[in-house]
Amino acid sequence: MSETLLHIERLALSLPEGGERLYAVENIDYHLDSGEILCVVGESGSGKSMTANAIMRLLPRGVNVAQGRALFAGRDLLRMSEEEHRALRGRHIGMIFQEPMTALNPLLRIGDQLAEVFEAHGLLSTGERRQRSLALLEEVRLPDPAAALRAYPFELSGGQRQRVMIAMALALEPQLLVADEPTTALDVTTQAQILGLIRDLQKRRGMAVMLITHDFGVVAEVADRVCVMREGRIVEMGTAAEVLDNPRDAYTRALIEAIPGDAVAPPREVADSVPLLSVTGLDKVYRTGGGWFKEKREVVALEGIAFSLGRGETIGVVGESGSGKSTLGRCLVGLNRPDSGEIRLDDVDLRALAGRELREHRRRIQMIFQDPYASLNPRTRVGMAIAQGPIANGVPRAQALARARELLATVGLEGSAAERFPHEFSGGQRQRIGIARALALDPELIIADEAVSALDVSIQAQILALLDRLKKELSLSLLFITHDLRVAAQICDRLIVMQKGQIVEQGSAEQVFNSPQHAYTRELLAAIPGRRRPAATPVVEEDQP
């Protein structure tokens, strides 16, 4: 059964001149047998997608094959004519992509886009194409396939669109499926379903799958074999069991260890039982349109939210996209205005304040944002970005700038960073700058909105450790908003689980993980990729960047 389907030999892809390195990938050697799932794992910039793009001829402009071969059933994919290659694409090799929201043509019906696969290879009559399309949509378990056939992409959810993409990639029963981060853009429960679907279909059809991912959880879930990449080179390769349980390479080990396991840290002593923040009956409805000629639409974002947060405590707010968790954070800092309810900070109702008083109290709650690239003004020097808050609050300029340098040291950067512009820093460093900015106003509560979601796992761990240290040193309270239960488990004392604008469960992190009460919480926990694997004990040190 294991006959080699794809053989990549000494592949090197050159980058355009003047870049950081000469090759996107080099010395790539691996093979893929029919009937197996190979996971190519790596962090951003590791070149993990490049090989797949090369064999699909989807390389970005400027990236070229420098040397090597990619033999598919004995023929070199890199050197055959475009016509020969096109005959293979879709028919013998299928591909699905990361972002299902944009991967389908918005102006064509789903049925037409499916039928196009058959049309492109001159197969079947129009009627037969339609029937096969219907059967395919049933196979990928889309609810109401007949309606989906007539639908336009915008009428389907992200998960449904990814199912359509899979149906399309599998339409002609290819021997090889290339899946580039197929679940990264999806919610955790949808992610589990899509992974399950890919594995089922692979087993049933006996095809080979090359799955590219950054997530060792996904690897643990589906991989037969694993190939770990770093900076364009393969650092380790082996069966899933070998690599996951006995990583030989130090980098692989670090990556695996950096995934927060699902073992919950022991409950910490909460120093102060007096609540710092207490929220009751918070409601928020988003209204769009309602102009003079527009229709009104209403989306309930928050409904009857109530909880309290003690001094020095860390609460994790967990939920999928659309659960209202970000809206909650934005209401607390004042970026959004709730419709009703109370937000009390030490017995002061923030919603009843205005003007100078409000500003004085707002200062006490600060935020760390998700996207390290969008959260700093590209035209403002880092020191100024940190000092702006104190200056706006009346601190003399020189004093504020001096303090900014101290804060940079606090978050583990050099003071000289203050003179530089944001684009000179990496994602993790920028996130440190964002933290320094939040600290500049001496807040008591910090709200971290998906603050590590955009970072690679190894960097994620460093930032989490930094937050943990700062919290203790400065006796801060932390509200940690995340979609990733694994991250929440690592840092939070208590957890709040949100679904459709409501809190469905709250309790100590230990309780929520070990004896979840609500069905939705159980579903979320079950969906964590790699959960069945015994967790590695997280040993994370806060490295200097």
Partner 1 sequence: MSFWHRFARNRGALLGVFILTFFILLALLAPFLYPDSPWRMVQRPFLAPGEVEGFPLGTDAMGRDVAAGLAHGAWVSLLVGLISTLAAMLIGVPLGALAGYFGGRVDDVLMRFTEFFQTIPNFALAIVLVAILQPSITTIILAIAIVSWPPVARLVRGEFLSLKQREYVEAARLVGQGHVAIIVRQILPNALSPVIVLASLMIATAILLESALSFMGLGDPDLMSWGYMIGAARTVMRQAWWLSVIPGVAILLTVLALNLVGDGLDDALNPQLARQR
Partner 2 sequence: MLYLSLIAGRLGKAVLVLLAILVFNFFLIHAAPGDPALVMAGEAGSTDAEFIADLRERFGLDQPLPVQLWHYISGVLTLDFGYSYRQQMPVLDLILDRLPATLLLTGAAFIISLSLGVLAGALAAMRAGKPSGSLIMGLALLFYATPLYWVAMMSVLLFSVWLEWLPAYGFSTVGANYTGLAHVGDVALHLILPALTLGLFFMAIYTRMTRTSMLSVAQQDFVRTARAKGVAPGVIQRRHILRNALLPIITLAGLQAGQMVGGAVLTETVFAWPGIGRLMYDALMQRDYNLLLGVFFFSALLVIVFNMITDVIYRLADPRIRGAA
Q: Can residue 144 be called a binding residue for partner 2 (CB under 8 A)?
A: no
CA–CA separation, 4 vs 34, rounded Å? 6
**Minimum distance of partner 1 from residue 65's CB (angstroms):** 20
**Minimum distance of partner 1 from residue 383's CB (angstroms):** 14
Residue with tokens 């990619």: 70
Binding mask 151-180 for partner 2 (x = CB under 8 A): -x-xx---------x--xx-----------
Specify the stretch interacting with partner 2 by CB under 8 A; choose among 56-64, 260-268, 301-309, 533-541: 56-64
Complex with partner 2: residue 103 or 348, whichever CB lies closer: 103
Count CA atoms within 13 Å of residue 252 on its CB side: 22
Q: Can residue 105 be called a binding residue for partner 2 (CB under 8 A)?
A: yes
Q: Can residue 73 be called a binding residue for partner 2 (CB under 8 A)?
A: no
Q: Can residue 231 be called a binding residue for partner 2 (CB under 8 A)?
A: no
Comparing CA positions, the residue from 186, 137, 129 lying closest to residue 166 is: 137
Q: Can residue 367 be called a binding residue for partner 1 (CB under 8 A)?
A: yes
* Residue 155 three-state SS: helix
CA–CA separation, 221 vs 217, rounded Å? 6
Complex with partner 1: residue 278 or 380, whichever CB lies closer: 380
Residue with tokens 């709730």: 338
Rg from Cα positions in the chain: 25
CA–CA separation, 22 vs 192, rounded Å? 37
Complex with partner 2: residue 121 or 214, whichever CB lies closer: 121
Q: Which does 58 bind (CB under 5 to 8 A by kind): partner 1, partner 2, none?
A: partner 2
Q: Are residues 149 and 180 in contact, defined by beta-carbon separation less than 8 angstroms? A: no
3-state SS of 478-535 is: EEEEECCHHHHHHHCCEEEEEECCEEEEEEEHHHHHHCCCCHHHHHHHHHCCCCCCCC
Q: Can residue 296 be called a binding residue for partner 2 (CB under 8 A)?
A: no
Residues 430-459 that bind partner 1 (CB under 8 A): 434, 437, 440-441
Number of neighbouring beta carbons within 10 Å of residue 508: 16
Q: Can residue 117 be called a binding residue for partner 2 (CB under 8 A)?
A: yes
Residues 284-313 that bind partner 1 (CB under 8 A): 291-292
What DSSP assignment string belongs to 403-454?
Answer: HHHHHHHHTT--GGGGGS-GGGS-HHHHHHHHHHHHHTT--SEEEEESTTTT
Complex with partner 2: residue 127 or 291, whichever CB lies closer: 291
Complex with partner 1: residue 365 or 509, whichever CB lies closer: 365
Q: Which does 377 bind (CB under 5 to 8 A by kind): partner 2, partner 1, none?
A: partner 1
CA–CA separation, 309 vs 300, rounded Å? 24
Residues 40-99 that bind partner 1 (CB under 8 A): 61
Q: Can residue 351 be called a binding residue for partner 1 (CB under 8 A)?
A: no
**Minimum distance of partner 2 from residue 149's CB (angstroms):** 14
Using the rule CB under 8 A, which residue among 48, 89, 284, 430 binds partner 2? 89
Residues 232-261 that bind partner 2 (CB under 8 A): none
Q: Can residue 91 be called a binding residue for partner 2 (CB under 8 A)?
A: yes
Q: Where are the alpha helices (DSSP H) in 226-375?
A: 240-245, 250-258, 325-333, 355-362
Q: Can residue 393 be called a binding residue for partner 1 (CB under 8 A)?
A: yes
Pairing verdict, β 445-449 and 477-482: parallel
**φ, ψ for residue 232 (rounded to 5)?**
85, 0
Instruction: Report the run of H or E that residue 302 belongs to, with start and end.
Output: strand 296-310
Residue 238, Cα to own-chain centre: how many angstroms? Answer: 26
Using the rule CB under 8 A, which residue among 220, 385, 418, 485 binds partner 1? 385
Q: Can residue 130 be called a binding residue for partner 2 (CB under 8 A)?
A: no
Specify the stretch interacting with partner 1 by CB under 8 A; choose among 166-174, 212-220, 375-383, 534-542: 375-383
Using the rule CB under 8 A, which residue among 192, 376, 466, 525 binds partner 1? 376
Q: Can residue 204 be called a binding residue for partner 2 (CB under 8 A)?
A: no
Would you state the structure tokens that stand for residue 356, as one six-digit string?
């100078």
Would you state the structure tokens that stand for residue 349, as one six-digit string?
């109702």
Specify the stretch interacting with partner 1 by CB under 8 A; choose among 123-131, 321-329, 361-369, 503-511: 361-369
Q: Which does 510 bind (CB under 5 to 8 A by kind): partner 1, partner 2, none?
A: none
Query: Sign of torsion, CA 30 33 39 45?
Result: positive
Q: Can residue 334 be called a binding residue for partner 1 (CB under 8 A)?
A: yes
Number of neighbouring beta carbons within 10 Å of residue 539: 9
Q: Can residue 392 be called a binding residue for partner 1 (CB under 8 A)?
A: yes
Query: Sign of torsion, CA 158 455 197 135?
Result: positive
Q: Which does 388 bind (CB under 5 to 8 A by kind): partner 2, partner 1, none?
A: partner 1
Q: Which residues bind partner 1 (CB under 8 A)?
A: 61, 291-292, 333-335, 359, 362-363, 366-367, 369-371, 374-380, 385, 388-390, 392-393, 434, 437, 440-441
Contact residues toward partner 2 (CB under 8 A) are 56-58, 86-91, 94-95, 97, 99, 102-108, 116-117, 120-121, 152, 154-155, 165, 168-169, 293
